[in-house]
Amino acid sequence: MEQYVIKGGNPLVGDVEIGGAKNAALPILAASTMTDETVYIENLPDVRDTNVLLDAMQAIGVMVKRTERHKVALNSGNITSLVVDTEGIKKIRASYYLLGAMLGKYKHAQVALPGGCDIGCRAIDQHIKGFRALGAEVVIEHGLIKASAQRLVGSHIYMDVSSVGATINVMMAAAMAEGVTIIENSAKEPHVVDLANFLNSMGANIKGAGTDVIRIKGVPRLHGSEYTIIPDQIEAGTFMFAAAVTKGDVTVKNVIPKHLESITAKLLEIGCEVEEADDCVRVVASKPLAHTQVKTLPYPGFPTDMQPQITVALALSKGTSIVTESIFENRFKYVDELTRMGANIKVEGNTAIIDGVEKYTGASISAPDLRAGAALVIAALAAEGISTVDDIKYIERGYEDFHLKLKNLGAQIELAQTEKEFQKFKLRVG
Ligand code: EPZ
């Protein structure tokens, strides 16, 4: 079984290059099926979730040509099936983006019910409500969501919750509906804006993405495009907190600093120095970390996808901190693992009360999901002694070359497949 073996204690120092945003790439890949012409995507992250989606697209007849590691050409002119039901696709959340995309173009689609990280109840009622408002019939049968319509007609849709997935799905379907759709209380995350920009580059007419109200004037057809995906806000934030936790000095390159404002604000509050330039951010942690309070919120609030990473930092800070998770109710599962490394955290409902400790100590831990897995790796990098992190398949869903990028910053981390490799690492690091 693959695991990371880590010897903690080295401050991370140097530069790290951030890849394309996974959560923008997934809907953009799905939306490429909305034209018969070729779409060229750059800055595509080479991570498990995007690769699973590309495999599923290939299985329904999309021509997928990876011209370079981070570039792909896609042609959906000869799609052979509107049923997406591969084994892999059930494991990723973004499978349902093919529903919105294909419903928009073909007025019919069937997709296996989505999986994804187990971080709490992940309802899809707002997606279904949106599709129905556009005139589609939606049923769930035999593990598939089936959506079909004679015609899709623009509508006024109020989202009961700010949902990234539902905003994206409805935006895609509405892009090729007749007339105007208005989505109120839409999600404002950078990846929602990136998808809108991509659809507009294909000839869609979408205004207001990034605000609470998105206005979509449907068009009868979309055309090919060349598009570069935005940098990954969460990958960047993870490395920024890795610098803080290991008392390092890291310049995170190829980022949009505006997308990182809530993360930067919290790093400043806990005593780090943060320097911003046009497309990079430097984080220096030279003082002991201070405690703070944080509540996860939709963008531009502090992202739920950064909640485990900030908790790992606060558990090493002076004093008592409070972290409130307001998006997903089951996102503190990693706390037990962190406790095994010496953290002092009590979880009550959606709140973690954290009494800072002086240090972590190495332990054998498992990644319970993608972001928590990355956060536990950061904890291990700061811990005294050796740790092993299992179930790294979760981390690989969304971080490209995670351990290699960390290693490049001076971390003592290896990917070990066997006990022998683990022993070799132990001997080497002493
Ligand atoms: C997206 O998930 C991301 N996934 C998640 O990232 C991220 O944590 C989340 O947005 C919040 O930012 C992808 O982009 C593939 P939501 P999504 O719909 O779209 C409720 C990661 O680590 N809700 O914005 O599934 C829901 O229960 C992953 O990269 C409904 O009630 O999230 C939640 O409480 C994990 N009904 C809240 O809205 C619905 O129909 C926000 O969920 C839809 C959602």
CATH class of 3-19+231-429: alpha beta
Position 54 scores a pLDDT of 95
Distance CA 380, CA 303 (A): 22
Where do the domains of the chain lie?
Answer: 3-19+231-429, 22-228
* Domain covering 22-228: architecture: Alpha-beta prism (3.65)
Per the listing, tokens 């750059």 go with: 42
- % of the chain residues with pLDDT over 90: 88
Residue 302 pLDDT exceeds 70: yes
Amino acid (one-letter) located at 43: N
User: In the predicted model, what is the mean pLDDT of the chain?
Assistant: 95
Residue 244 confidence (pLDDT)? 98
44-100 pLDDT, tens digit each? 999 999 999 999 999 999 999 999 999 999 999 999 999 988 777 777 878 889 999
Closest ligand 1 atom to residue 49 Cα is: 15
Using the mean position of ligand 1's atoms as its centre, give its distance from the Cα of residue 115 in Å.
12
Mutational pocket test of ligand 1: of 48, 122, 326, the residue with most ligand atoms within 8 Å of the beta carbon: 122
- Ligand 1 centroid–CA 122 distance in Å is 7
For residue 267, the CA-to-ligand 1 centroid distance in Å is 24
Do the domains 22-228 and 3-19+231-429 match in fold?
yes
Pocket residues for ligand 1 (CB within 6 Å)? 23, 26, 93-94, 117, 119, 121-127, 161, 163-166, 187, 304-305, 327-328, 370-371, 398
User: What are the residue numbers of the active site?
Assistant: 117
**Averaged pLDDT, 201-207:** 98
Using the mean position of ligand 1's atoms as its centre, give its distance from the Cα of residue 327 in Å: 8
Looking at residue 119, its pLDDT comes to: 62
First-to-last C-alpha distance (Å) of the chain: 23
Residue nearest to atom 36 of ligand 1 (CA): 123
